[in-house]
Structure 1
């Protein structure tokens, strides 16, 4: 097998493409021939040694994996070779094969492209957990999505719009704003506008927001919280916009509003059965065409260094997906 492995964390230059013996699954395990692995902002941070969790070394990045089972170990009864599956784990994806416990490999519906499955695996579940489970989104509410051109943001635009929300999408590029409109946003705001709050007052019905879905935070964080309606919810999903901002503690009281954390790993561990059911439903919705698959930038394994660099780039044109079995 081939894999992109590193013996240190600090730079993509610490990683290289190597060959290793093809591993054999042990009792209760399956081997997946990987067709696609999705990469996100966290993957870029891990490779650079800037993430709060430091995985054991040597390390193979990429955990949003989709592929086909090509071997099973002794005692495996619920999975068989030839099944199309997805798995989310801490690393191992930038390789042609990976070994996982049988229970972690989730079957995918017919008609769902494996690249699309890897690209949506984390982002779509994060959005559903944030908007539906944590945010309590109701039809007719006004939702503002930051970073609407990114993988998480564009998924949030879709899920909110399909739930009957009035969606305002913030993005910094013309292409990003155009895609948000195509995915169901009622309107867009240029994220580089010097007076975001004025644009919200002018454009959004009633001039306020019920839910902010925020994977960016950054310098406009407090302005967006101040733009909430009474009983509004600001869902904090990530901090790709720069230094972590702060909030005057009197604002939630004065606005009767809530700052709500969306930590997907907690949901996966604390509510595993519900998370699996939500994930399966999202896969079915994309396979059926109810939700569009993510826009993607696809790379072969030989260009894994470029793919990891792209995860930290602002304004990228979709989810980063590496196809380990694709010809270079």
Structure 2
């Protein structure tokens, strides 16, 4: 089987596809023929050994998957060979076949294609957890989404709108702002403009925003914090800008605001019931048709470097997907 096989930590452009033996499965696992795998900033960091934890070498990157069950371990119940499944693992999805723990699989709802299913596996579960459990977004509140055209940003726009919030999308260009509006943002702010903070004040009537979703970090996040309403919640999802801001402690004090870290990957270890709740909510939205994940680009496996570089160059709009059936 073909796979992205990381044998040493290197830039993605220095890694080649490998032909590996089909993996064996254990009694509580399934062998899944992967049709689509999500590509995220974390994947780009992991292959270089720059993520906050280093994966033991060698490894196959990729955590978000959608595909078809080919084999089941003896202890696996509730699934059958041939079923379409989706889910989230630590690594391994950027291969034509992947070993998946049964507890990490969900059936793909009817009408949802492989790319959309893979897109929903991490970003949408993460943002659902962030907005419902941590941000506690209420109907009528104002949510500001930074990096609004990216994978997390699009998910945050869609899900905040589903929760009944007024959504302001913020991005670095007019083109990205237009994309954020297409994703469902009622208002947009271009923080490439010198007066973007004045624009934000005008949109909120100087009251500020109730919740900020920040997947980019850097100076923009720090400046955005200054525009929080009293009792606001600032959700730190990541640092796509490559810069981790230093927040002066007087700002949350003056705003009565809360800075909250969002790392859904740790939920399995620390709060599996909250992860299960977020997954169930995303699946319900998918099944009802209320949610259709935004796929910004599909790349066949042979062009995996282009997929990674689209993220690195901040060119992505929505979620980037690798099609391992090469149909993308």
TM-score (ref. length: structure 1): 0.94
Matched, 1:145 2:153: no
Give the count of matched residue pairs. Answer: 328
Q: What does residue range 91-102 of structure 1 map to in structure 2 within 5 Å?
A: 91-102=91-102
Conservation of the 8 A alpha-carbon contact between 1:200 and 1:207:
no
Aligned to 1:300: 300
| Cα distance in 1 for residues equivalent to 2:274 and 2:258 | 24
Q: What SS is found at the alignment partner of 1:290?
A: coil
Q: What does residue range 1-328 of structure 1 map to in structure 2 within 5 Å?
A: 1-326=1-326
How far is the alpha carbon of 1:13 from its aligned partner?
Answer: 4.1
| Cα distance in 2 for residues equivalent to 1:178 and 1:286 | 25
| Cα distance in 2 for residues equivalent to 1:40 and 1:195 | 31
Q: Can you give the 5+ residue segments of structure 1 that lack an aligned partner in the other structure?
A: none
How far is the alpha carbon of 1:14 from its aligned partner?
Answer: 4.2
How far is the alpha carbon of 1:168 from its aligned partner?
Answer: 0.9
How far is the alpha carbon of 1:264 from its aligned partner?
Answer: 1.1
How far is the alpha carbon of 1:316 from its aligned partner?
Answer: 1.5
TM-score (ref. length: structure 2): 0.94
| Cα distance in 1 for residues equivalent to 2:259 and 2:206 | 21
Deviation digits for residues 89-134 of structure 1 (CA, Å, limit 9, x no counterpart): 1221111101122222222222221110101211111111111110
| Cα distance in 2 for residues equivalent to 1:234 and 1:195 | 22
Conservation of the 8 A alpha-carbon contact between 1:84 and 1:108:
yes
Q: What SS is found at the alignment partner of 2:5?
A: strand
| Cα distance in 2 for residues equivalent to 1:192 and 1:154 | 19
| Cα distance in 2 for residues equivalent to 1:27 and 1:97 | 17
Deviation digits for residues 156-211 of structure 1 (CA, Å, limit 9, x no counterpart): 11111121111111012333222322333221000212233211112224441111
| Cα distance in 2 for residues equivalent to 1:257 and 1:76 | 46
- The 3 A distance-change label for structure 1 pair 277 and 110 is farther
Q: Can you give the 5+ residue segments of structure 2 that lack an aligned partner in the other structure?
A: none
Q: What SS is found at the alignment partner of 2:51?
A: coil
Q: What SS is found at the alignment partner of 2:143?
A: strand
| Cα distance in 2 for residues equivalent to 1:193 and 1:72 | 54
Deviates more, 1:247-256 or 1:37-46: 247-256
Q: What SS is found at the alignment partner of 1:35?
A: strand
Root-mean-square deviation over aligned CA pairs? 1.8
| Cα distance in 1 for residues equivalent to 2:11 and 2:27 | 36
| Cα distance in 1 for residues equivalent to 2:101 and 2:196 | 48
How far is the alpha carbon of 1:280 from its aligned partner?
Answer: 3.1
Q: What SS is found at the alignment partner of 1:127?
A: helix
- The 3 A distance-change label for structure 1 pair 254 and 288 is same
| Cα distance in 1 for residues equivalent to 2:111 and 2:30 | 23
- The 3 A distance-change label for structure 1 pair 48 and 213 is same
Q: What SS is found at the alignment partner of 2:23?
A: coil
Conservation of the 8 A alpha-carbon contact between 1:28 and 1:76:
yes
